[in-house]
Amino acid sequence: MIVIYHINNCVISVRKLDGTELSFKKGRPNEVLFEIASRFKEEYVLWCSEEARHNLNIDVLEKLFDHHRLMLSYGDVNRPFLTKDIGYIEDTPFVKIPGDVTYPTWQMHSYVGGIHATVLNEISTSVNVDVNFDFLLNSIAKKAQAQGLICLSEPQLVKDQALVKSLIATREELYTFVSKHYKKRWLFFLFIMHAKYSRTYPVVNVLRCLFKKNSSHINIDFNKIVFETFKPEGSLPLQIDVVIPTLGREKYLVDVLNDFKNQTLLPKKVIVVEQNPDINSSSELDYLYSENWPFEIDHMFIHTTGVCNARNLALKKCASEWVFLFDDDGRLTNDTLQEIQKTLFKTNAKCINMSYLQKGEKETNVHLKQWPYFGAGCSVIHKSALVNVSFDPALEHGYGEDVDFGMQIRNNGADILYAPNIKITHLKAPIGGFRSKKVFPWQIEGAILPKPSPQVMYHREKNTTNKQLIGYKWVLFFKFYKENSIKNPISYIRYFRSAWEASQKWAQKLPFND
């Protein structure tokens, strides 16, 4: 490993971890970063602000940098380089970053960090080094994360988190970054946000950036850069418990169980939570007991409906190292669990989502990469990532329970990777029996319907920054206007304000139990 020490956008020394000093051409950190990578092609290249020299946690570096397709950094997460204003236009989990756990994000810091020379050499022709160092690091991560580079905020890089600092972008740098990494319409959107909430009017910034070329794409396949170090979490073969909530789909469920029965790697236990709101009913899953299964079947029959409750009950019964959250209308190939094991062994990931498409749909993602979403019907999670994690009952019968669950996993310090090579077919079966449409108290006749739904508002207020929530509000405002029957702008503004306030009011009252 080689560390580039810098101060005031100038490199002052380049050293190996043993203290050996290396020569370099005089220049800025941007230039030295790629120079060192071209000379030492098999090394990790780290950067460290001079004021962080004695705060760099050298003892854990080899443990942290455990594969080549990795970019780590750490700084003051409360003062990101692009400022919190980036939340106005960035609607992903990569903005609200906890400072005390490893967390997926493309937002990098020049305070301390590192990347492998292989990655730098691959992207050297796709980045502009004639920018601020923090700008360059954020640009690399923003572009490459979508192609498969694993980018993390890593607090273990430093000994004392209280000492970390961050540099802040100028308004010009912020708008330039937006113009190069987002569609041009976001320049105008950001301008509106600044005009309304900051009472600033950066017209010149918008005009200067309007015609700058977008450079958000990096022409590189990170699948070529393999995960070099394999340190699987737990023992092999993997010990997996499967969680399946079901309601009125007994014919689909038996196909699911037979798919697990035919796996080349069998699960340890399958937990089936059968729901039927009729208190006088009995189970319709006789085959759970009449047929022989090569794994333990744990069957719960309950009269309360809702996937949040069902999955939470099942999670309490999971005893294996890994949990597979599944649906009652998915289909597997015989080697699915074997492929899951290979991917977990390869990546050392603690959570993966798999391709979950309906028949006829085509997978557009080709990269194993960090995932801003979470699917509760196609996920495998390590038990360590599930500590104090559960499906929020406030989101029962609504929307966003799986997205919220994914946020809890990330806040536990576990990344979520998407593995498009593992394909599960989603049959999207017709709604089973015993179901009736949930009627919420805000759906009474004559009342203004909340916009968005209170469940979505609840999730947004819980899991996004204030500026992300504001940005979402305005995006929704413009989108909803196109499809709304109210076309008078003044009347529409009044209507939308009332609908938004109604959503906030009901979100505070969740969970609603009738």
Given this model, what pLDDT does residue 514 score?
47
> By C-alpha distance, which of 109, 143, 107 is closest to 124?
143
- Over residues 8-67, the pLDDT tens digits come to 999 999 999 999 999 998 789 999 999 999 999 999 999 999 999 999 999 999 999 989
| Alpha carbons 495 and 165: distance in angstroms, whole number | 44
Question: 87-116 b/e with 16+ CB inside 10 Å = b?
Answer: bbbbbbbbbbbeeeebbbbbbbbbbbbbbb
DSSP 364: -
Please give the mean pLDDT across all residues of the chain: 93
Interaxial angle between packed helices 489-507 and 454-463, expressed in degrees from 0 to 180 and rounded to the nearest 10: 70
Structure tokens at 260: 């697990």
* Contact (Cβ atoms closer than 8 angstroms) between residue 2 and residue 36: yes
- Over residues 413-424, the pLDDT tens digits come to 999 999 999 999
| Alpha carbons 271 and 274: distance in angstroms, whole number | 10
DSSP 450: P
Class of residue 185 by CB neighbours under 10 A (exposed 0-12, middle 13-18, buried 19+): exposed
CA 26 from chain centre, in angstroms, equals: 39
* Contact (Cβ atoms closer than 8 angstroms) between residue 511 and residue 394: yes
Q: Select from 3.40.50.360, 3.90.550.10, 3.40.50.2000, 1.10.150.120 the CATH code of 240-426.
A: 3.90.550.10
* Contact (Cβ atoms closer than 8 angstroms) between residue 102 and residue 153: yes
* Contact (Cβ atoms closer than 8 angstroms) between residue 138 and residue 181: no
pTM of the model: 0.94
| Alpha carbons 346 and 233: distance in angstroms, whole number | 10
> What are the structural domain ranges in the chain?
2-224, 240-426, 442-507
- Mean pLDDT per 10-residue section of the chain, whose length is 514 residues: 96 95 91 96 97 96 93 97 98 96 98 97 90 96 94 98 96 97 97 97 95 83 70 72 96 97 98 95 95 98 95 98 97 96 91 95 91 96 97 92 97 97 93 73 84 96 98 96 92 96 95 64
